[in-house]
């Protein structure tokens, strides 16, 4: 049975039972939520239904008052703020939420999405690594459950989304640095394979550099989870001698500032630093971070409202784009006139 290809339009619960290796009665207990069934068997039945393209909206006629949420990580406050907005809107509608974290890993993303689908939610709000190739998003669409992506750009047509214009936002901030006199600007980002947002922001940096007649440097891609703890910029600074570093999010920007300080460099006197997201604690570090604020809690509320409207049949999927908000800080300044070939090594070795 596992080798058989089934047309999703003709798939029945009998086909699902055959693929899962269980009885029709077991499938019935799983899809209705009535009767005993082990967690392992429940996962097998749901996986079989998804593999066969059997619409789980049809399999689960009785959804629970639950909104499922899939995000990369709660360690980044930007996602926590969005979840707060989702939960607030869900509670006002008498709903509960279930949360999963993918750790910026496409494989975990897919597995967690399948688990969340099995909870029979009214729909899901998710931030995926790349919406154009996300198997997790494809699972939701096959299941015919309402889905809204949040933060993701280039979400496929027909899928609801709430996101800011990352590319335009970063271009605007890069233009500021160029206007201050910076010509040697680096872009440090979370790995593009883990974040379409990082890729869009780098594209905005390239746009600004090329428009100014400058050569964009290749991106410095780092792991989101590990880099939030520490980044060693020694080789980067020696090779490129930048006067400014643009980080693809605020957490990375804060880590960049710490790394520069360990190297004996001052921000913004020696190197200007910018971030992205506008998380609250970035306003309280010294120097106050120059960044772009996303209205994350509002975006979460919008996503939940859109999902509820879709689930009740009141609205078709829409793609909403709230405005980003430039947030001026003290972490940028005009570049110093200095001997770029020696500045970093001199700072690191003041006695040499």
Same domain? For 301 and 176 the reply is: no
Q: Over the chain, what is the mean pLDDT? A: 88
- Which H or E run includes 222? strand 220-222
Same domain? For 305 and 288 the reply is: no
> Residue 6, Cα to own-chain centre: how many angstroms?
34
Beta-bridge partners for 274: 246, 290
**Least confident window among 62-76, 87-101, 160-174, 209-223:** 62-76
Residue 282 has pLDDT above 90, yes or no: no
Matching residue, tokens 């068997």: 41
Start-to-end C-alpha separation, the chain: 73
Same domain? For 68 and 148 the reply is: yes
- Mean pLDDT on 321-350: 75
- Between residues 166 and 351, the one the model is more confident about: 166
310 phi/psi in degrees, rounded to 5:
-70, -40
Matching residue, tokens 């920007």: 253
State percent of the chain over pLDDT 90.
65
Same domain? For 204 and 311 the reply is: no
Taking a C-beta distance cutoff of 8 angstroms, is the pair 87, 97 a contact? yes
pLDDT, tens digit (0-9, with 9 covering 90-100), for 136-162: 999 888 888 899 999 999 899 999 999
Question: Which domain covers residue 145, as residue numbers?
Answer: 63-164+295-321
- Tokens at 343, concatenated: 């500045």
Matching residue, tokens 């520490």: 230
Residue 257 has pLDDT above 60, yes or no: yes
Nearest to 76 by CA among 102, 107, 98: 102
Same domain? For 288 and 221 the reply is: yes
pLDDT of residue 231: 87
For residue 243, count other CB atoms closer than 10 A to its CB. 24
CA gap 38, 35 in Å, rounded: 10
Instruction: Please tell me whether residue 144 adopts helix, strand or coil conformation.
Output: coil
Residue 30 has pLDDT above 90, yes or no: no
62 falls in which pLDDT band (50, 70, 90)? Answer: low
CA gap 349, 95 in Å, rounded: 59
- Between residues 29 and 54, the one the model is more confident about: 29
pLDDT, tens digit (0-9, with 9 covering 90-100), for 298-309: 999 999 999 999
37 falls in which pLDDT band (50, 70, 90)? Answer: confident
Residue 40 has pLDDT above 70, yes or no: yes
- Tokens at 84, concatenated: 């707060």
- Between residues 158 and 342, the one the model is more confident about: 158
Same domain? For 49 and 69 the reply is: no
**Exposed, middle or buried: residue 153 (CB in 10 Å: 0-12, 13-18, 19+)?**
buried
Same domain? For 196 and 340 the reply is: yes
Same domain? For 188 and 278 the reply is: yes
Largest CA distance in the chain: 79
Same domain? For 74 and 100 the reply is: yes
pLDDT, tens digit (0-9, with 9 covering 90-100), for 88-142: 999 999 999 999 999 999 999 999 998 898 888 999 999 999 999 999 999 888 8
What is the tally of structural domains in the chain? Answer: 3
Taking a C-beta distance cutoff of 8 angstroms, is the pair 302, 162 a contact? yes
Matching residue, tokens 């640095």: 177
CA gap 36, 29 in Å, rounded: 7
Residue 241 has pLDDT above 90, yes or no: yes
For residue 313, count other CB atoms closer than 10 A to its CB. 8
- Tokens at 227, concatenated: 């880099």
Same domain? For 58 and 71 the reply is: no
What is the DSSP pairing of strand 185-190 with strand 220-222? parallel
What is the domain-level CATH number for residue 192?
3.40.50.2300
71 phi/psi in degrees, rounded to 5:
-130, 165
Same domain? For 220 and 244 the reply is: yes
Sequence-separated (6 or more) residues with CB below 8 Å from residue 111? none
pLDDT of residue 352: 37
Same domain? For 196 and 92 the reply is: no
- Tokens at 89, concatenated: 């809107």
pLDDT of residue 182: 98
- Tokens at 245, concatenated: 């570093």
**pTM for this one?**
0.80
């Amino acid at each position: 049975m596992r080798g058989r290809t089934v047309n999703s339009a003709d798939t029945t619960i009998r086909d699902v039972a055959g693929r899962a290796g269980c009885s029709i009665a077991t499938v019935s207990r799983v899809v209705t939520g009535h009767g005993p069934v082990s967690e392992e068997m429940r996962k097998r039945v749901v996986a079989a239904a998804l593999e066969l393209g059997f619409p789980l909206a049809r399999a689960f006629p009785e959804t629970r008052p639950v909104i499922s949420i899939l995000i990369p990580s709660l360690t980044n406050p930007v996602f926590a703020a969005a979840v707060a907005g989702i939960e607030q809107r869900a509670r006002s509608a008498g709903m509960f939420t279930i949360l999963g974290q993918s750790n910026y890993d496409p494989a975990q993303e897919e597995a967690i999405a399948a688990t969340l689908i099995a909870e029979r939610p009214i729909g899901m709000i998710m931030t995926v690594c790349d919406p154009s190739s996300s198997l997790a998003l494809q699972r939701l669409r096959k299941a015919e459950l309402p889905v809204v992506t949040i933060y993701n750009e280039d979400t496929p047509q027909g899928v609801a989304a709430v996101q800011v214009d990352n590319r335009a936002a970063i271009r605007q901030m890069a233009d500021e640095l160029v206007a201050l006199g910076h010509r040697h600007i680096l872009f440090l980002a979370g790995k593009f394979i883990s974040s379409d947002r990082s890729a869009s922001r780098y594209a905005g940096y390239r746009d600004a550099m090329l428009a100014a007649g400058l050569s964009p440097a290749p991106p410095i891609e780092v792991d989101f989870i590990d880099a939030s703890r520490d980044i060693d910029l020694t080789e980067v600074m020696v090779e490129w001698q930048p006067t400014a570093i643009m980080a693809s999010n605020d957490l990375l920007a804060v880590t960049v500032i710490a790394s520069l300080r360990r190297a004996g460099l001052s921000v913004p006197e020696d190197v200007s630093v910018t971030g992205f997201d506008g998380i609250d604690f970035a306003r309280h570090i010294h120097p106050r971070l120059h960044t772009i604020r996303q209205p994350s809690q509002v975006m979460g509320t919008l996503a939940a409202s859109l999902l509820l409207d879709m689930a009740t049949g009141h609205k078709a999927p829409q793609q909403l784009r709230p405005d980003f908000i430039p947030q001026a800080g003290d972490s940028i300044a005009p570049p110093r006139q200095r001997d770029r070939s020696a500045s970093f090594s001199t700072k690191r070795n003041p006695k040499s």
